[in-house]
């Protein structure tokens, strides 16, 4: 089977599942991964025969795509702020909103900071901040399986991020202080489930997505309480926000003596990022 023939089969099999433009993108992502060549080379070699091992792989991957499994999990990798990040079902696929948070932090902060990333997941924020502002980064997550994935990325890119398994909802004892603490905690509400794509609900880890109905800002509260004790004087706390609970988080910060609170809206003009300072 040639690349050309496989592409025809690929288009036919997925036509009822994805829009045409997305099928095109998925095809090239898949072939670039399997053949380890770029899009231009694929186009120039459409009559190249695929060996049997490659055929077996691409057909298996196509079957998974037909079930709407995210391509990032199938190929085991995604790009975040220019960095190749390992992903599997134990970590969320990094979102554009989170990438925006990284660039926002970069625009506001100097180099050579000590940064703590809480609820780190794949470690995408930690790796990006280490790379973009030359920060010394510590990253915490409750999931040991997520940390295993993050450490794979660290090994593959030569990162010095320090990872630890920490449950921020439990009392955390440390004498360390940081210039910046950043967190993209679980914040999706149970009542928001109908608005979430089926492939996200089926394949991505609910532990990293959902918060309690009874206390939807429980993770924010835990991070705020920790940050109040462990940020340096004048240190900054950054959050990615759920627009539906943003006001509650802002109120929490005001009652915890954080100052200079700044909220940044996303492309839909909804509150998506926040920074607040401790008093000097």
Alpha helices, H only, 37-173:
39-44, 52-66, 71-75, 96-108, 124-133, 144-157
**Is the per-residue pLDDT at 157 higher than 90?**
yes
Can you give the pLDDT at residue 131? 97
Domain boundaries, the chain: 3-67, 90-277
Q: Is the pLDDT of residue 103 over 90?
A: yes
- CA–CA gap between residue 136 and residue 113 (Å, rounded): 6
Number of H helices, E strands in the chain: 12, 9
Name the CATH architecture for the domain at 90-277.
Answer: 3-Layer(aba) Sandwich (3.40)
Assign 267 a pLDDT band (cuts: 50, 70, 90).
confident
Q: For residue 121, what pLDDT is reported?
A: 98
pLDDT digits (tens, 9 = 90+) for 123-146: 999 999 999 999 999 999 999 999
Please give the Cα distance from 189 to 244 (Å, whole number).
Answer: 9
CA distance 104 to 279: 21
For 143-176, the DSSP string reads: -HHHHHHHHHHHHHHT---EEEE--TTS------
pLDDT in tens, 180-200: 999 999 999 988 989 898 889
Mean pLDDT, all residues of the chain: 96
Report helix, strand or coil for 70.
coil
């Amino acid at each position: 089977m040639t690349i050309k023939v496989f592409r025809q089969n690929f288009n036919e099999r997925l036509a009822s599942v994805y829009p045409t433009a997305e099928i095109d993108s998925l095809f090239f992502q898949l072939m670039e991964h399997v053949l380890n060549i770029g899009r231009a080379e694929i186009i120039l070699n459409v009559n190249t025969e695929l060996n049997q091992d490659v055929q077996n792989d691409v057909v298996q991957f196509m079957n998974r795509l037909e079930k709407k499994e995210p391509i990032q999990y199938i190929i085991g990798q995604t790009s975040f702020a220019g960095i190749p990040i390992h992903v599997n079902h134990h970590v969320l696929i990094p979102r554009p909103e989170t990438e925006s948070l990284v660039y926002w932090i970069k625009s506001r902060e100097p180099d050579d900071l000590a940064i703590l990333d809480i609820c780190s997941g794949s470690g995408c924020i930690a790796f990006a901040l280490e790379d973009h502002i030359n920060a010394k980064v510590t990253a915490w997550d409750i999931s040991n399986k997520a940390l295993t994935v993050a450490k794979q990325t660290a090994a593959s890119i030569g990162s010095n991020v320090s990872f630890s398994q920490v449950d921020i909802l439990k009392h955390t004892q440390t004498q360390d202080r940081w210039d910046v603490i950043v967190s993209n905690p679980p914040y999706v509400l149970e009542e928001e489930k109908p608005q979430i794509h089926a492939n996200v609900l089926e394949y991505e880890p609910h532990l990293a997505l959902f918060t309690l109905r009874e206390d939807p800002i429980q993770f924010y509260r835990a991070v705020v309480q920790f940050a109040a004790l462990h940020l340096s004087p004048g240190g900054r706390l950054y959050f990615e926000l759920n627009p539906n609970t943003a006001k509650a988080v802002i109120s929490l910060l005001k009652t915890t003596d954080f100052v200079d609170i700044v909220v940044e809206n996303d492309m839909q003009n909804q509150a998506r990022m926040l920074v607040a300072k401790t008093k000097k």
